[in-house]
Amino acid sequence: MKLNTRLKKIGDLVEANSFCLDVGCDHALLDIYLVKQNKDIQVIASDIAEGPLEQAKKNIQRERLEEKIQTKLGDGLSTYEEGVDTVILSGMGGRNMIGICKNDFKIMKKIKTFIVSPNNYQEDVKRFFCKNGFYLLNEEFVKDGKFIYQILIFQKGKKKYSKKEYFFGPVFLQKKGPLFREYYLREYKSREILISLLPGNYKFKKMQLQKEMKMIQNEIED
């Protein structure tokens, strides 16, 4: 199995000398990449399911990295160990990620950095972290095949954001760039399709979607 562009980008965003807990590691390809970078990164690869964790162990053994990558079976942040400063949550639904943190608020508060890449509900994820002691240090887009993913880096601390900043992402709004435009053009079009499919009695929902489309238009036109 080869590391894809999305996971490589996530790996490149991990700081040197950090102690990472990868929650939902699956095959552990990201963790193998992390320790091979010679950035002095320690890693715990964890997963809730036995099948993926067995695959992770095999991949780690194949690379002879058993000494460097610890594997742990367990739900969410329950696999945390004292000293972990960075948690990676990627390739899962946003609501699952929120649930994982809500189950272990005490551990969540011990973490300095969360690197998260939710498949959906990105705005909910941003609001959740920023209401619970974190701010958005960085946001990145990565295009892998035909998909564009958001990678969000939350750091311990506080910042206030407007509705618009939560919608687009405060850092994305500052940086913009071609992937920002492409991502939100797709968001615009998906809303257009949704409006055409909604029955007539969904007036409020349609109005809300139209408002969002206007907001997107304003940001991608300039």
Ligand X SMILES: C[S@@+](CC[C@H](N)C(=O)[O-])C[C@H]1O[C@@H](n2cnc3c(N)ncnc32)[C@H](O)[C@@H]1O
* Footprint on this chain of ligand X (rule: CB under 6 A): 7, 23-26, 47-49, 52, 75-76, 90-92, 96, 100
Residue 215 CB, shortest distance to ligand X, in Å, is 29
DSSP string, 181-209: HHHHHHHHHHHHHHHHHS-TT-HHHHHHH
Shorter beta-carbon distance to ligand X: residue 29 or 216: 29
- Cross-strand bridge partners of residue 152: 116, 139
Taking the complex as a whole, how short is the minimal distance between the CB of residue 165 and ligand X, in angstroms? Answer: 26
> Of the two residues 44 and 130, which places its CB atom closer to ligand X in the complex?
44
- Please report how close the Cβ of residue 23 comes to ligand X at its closest, in angstroms: 5
Note whether 198 and 160 are within 8 A (CB): no
User: What minimum distance in Å lies between the beta carbon of 87 and ligand X?
Assistant: 11
Of residues 7 and 20, the one with the C-beta less far from ligand X: 7
Instruction: Select 85 or 104, whichever has its Cβ closest to ligand X.
Output: 104
Q: How far apart are CA 219 and CA 222, in angstroms?
A: 6
What six digits make up the tokens of 136?
A: 């958005």
In angstroms, the CA 220 to CA 2 distance is: 34
Q: Which is nearer to ligand X, 49 or 207 (CB)?
A: 49
The torsion angles phi and psi of 182, rounded to 5 degrees, stand at -65, -45
Contact status, residue 141 vs residue 183, Cβ threshold 8 Å: yes
Shortest Cβ distance from residue 153 to ligand X (Å)?
15
